[in-house]
Amino acid sequence: MIIISDMNTKVLTTIPFFLIFFLRIGNAQQNIPDYFPKIPPYQILERLIPILEKASIVIIQKEAGKPPFITGIVLINAPPDDVLRVIKDYERYHEFVPNVSKVRVLERYPEKNTQISEYNIGFDIAFGIKFTVTYTLEQNFLDSERIIFGFPSKKGVQVFGDVRYIEKYYETPDKRTIMVYSAYADLASFGILSKLVYRAFPELQIPSLVAVSTLFPEAVKERIEGKKLIVEPKSIPDDLKPAERIKIENILPLLRIYRNVIVSWYPDENEIRYFSSFLLTKKDPAYIRSLITDFRNYPRIFRLIESAEPSITENGYKVKFKIKYKVALPIEIEYSTIYSWNESRTRLECRIDKSAKRDIENGLCAWDIFQTQYGTVIGFTEFSDLRGSSYFLRILMDKVKGFGIGLRVATVSAQMEALDKNL
């Protein structure tokens, strides 16, 4: 047990907790180049299993001296050996991995447990503009530790200035697999057109990387379990169900290490996926409540919000928002949101006001506040009909499979990062 509820033992248990974490990390990564991020240990990930039954976990890892790696964590209902057989069958990736058109294994070096593989990826950005990317990786297999990592090969075609990934596979006591996949690619480094797009609009990079790092493990889970996870809803029901309030004790060990954790919930019967971001802070709950309801200050905190006009209602607020941002083209959205507190004032639920003029057809969100012995956890959960808000976003979601998932994950993450800077 990692978390001990007795406050008198808090100081004594903090040191062993982090000592165990870094010792485990050191043992697992002794044969891995330093430029990869730290792999979360099983002792932390096993606490996530109740959440991983219903969702993927995403961490944006920003370590000193390293580029931002996007880490996706999924639970697969199969033992690691079965999962690794699918993972290592690279030349069949085009059958199930989004946007992968072909993979060729060019050379194998069994004595070194390495191989050279060429990847071909193709996707449309918009208006008939298609990116076709070919790059070559050196892949290394640490079979005894169930770790695979790859980086740019000195042989073959290489369009990226930098691209690398690392995978780790843990076996649970009931013979299932927790897959951890971290990836980074400098999307602005390949091709003249790509440089123009990603350097002019860097906000596209994180959604694209999130799409890769969450969609690949989810695609593997789809392949093995036969479930459909990577979907966009065909229509949005009028009576959206409230977002689930998480059991914070499951995610708290991970929050103590990374502070910010994202949950990408699997689709419900209407193919609706909610996305949540959680932040651990030392601020007290009363301060958090005042901050998240200071709507007139939202344009200063959240970059995308141009204006917010609140009015008080019986159990909360009604706020008229104007959003302005660029995803390759300027996008402006106006809508009103109704906010209401629950009885304990631990959840501020919000939904689109359908009686008012709006550019977003439907949406639901919630701010959650959890008081723990390590501080206050803030949660923000959202689903919004982005397809209906912009013709250009609809094109991207149609042409680049998983772009909508990546954009929504990046949105809730950016929301929490912006709030964190103002705490």
Domains of the chain: 31-225 (3.30.530.20), 248-421 (3.30.530.20)
Determine the pLDDT at residue 150: 95
The predicted-structure confidence for 199-223, as pLDDT tens digits, reads as follows 555 555 555 566 566 789 999 999 9
CB 292 within 8 A of CB 308: no
242 pLDDT higher than 60: yes
143 pLDDT higher than 50: yes
Pick from 43, 40, 39, 29: nearest CA to 173: 43
CB 401 within 8 A of CB 384: no
| Distances, alpha carbon 267 to alpha carbons 48, 182, 225, 375, in Å | 18, 23, 15, 31
Determine the pLDDT at residue 399: 66
Tokens read off for 143:
């079979």
Determine the pLDDT at residue 215: 84
Q: Across residues 6-11, what is the average pLDDT?
A: 35
Determine the pLDDT at residue 126: 55
Determine the pLDDT at residue 229: 87
The predicted-structure confidence for 193-204, as pLDDT tens digits, reads as follows 455 555 555 555
Determine the pLDDT at residue 11: 37
| Distances, alpha carbon 42 to alpha carbons 49, 120, 171, 220, 392, in Å | 11, 33, 9, 20, 41
Average pLDDT of the chain to the nearest whole number: 82
Greater confidence (17 vs 182) lies with 182
Q: Sorting pLDDT into bands at 50, 70 and 90, what band is 162?
A: confident
The amino acid at residue 79 is: P
16 pLDDT higher than 70: no
The predicted-structure confidence for 355-410, as pLDDT tens digits, reads as follows 888 877 778 899 999 999 999 999 999 887 766 656 666 666 766 676 677 777 77
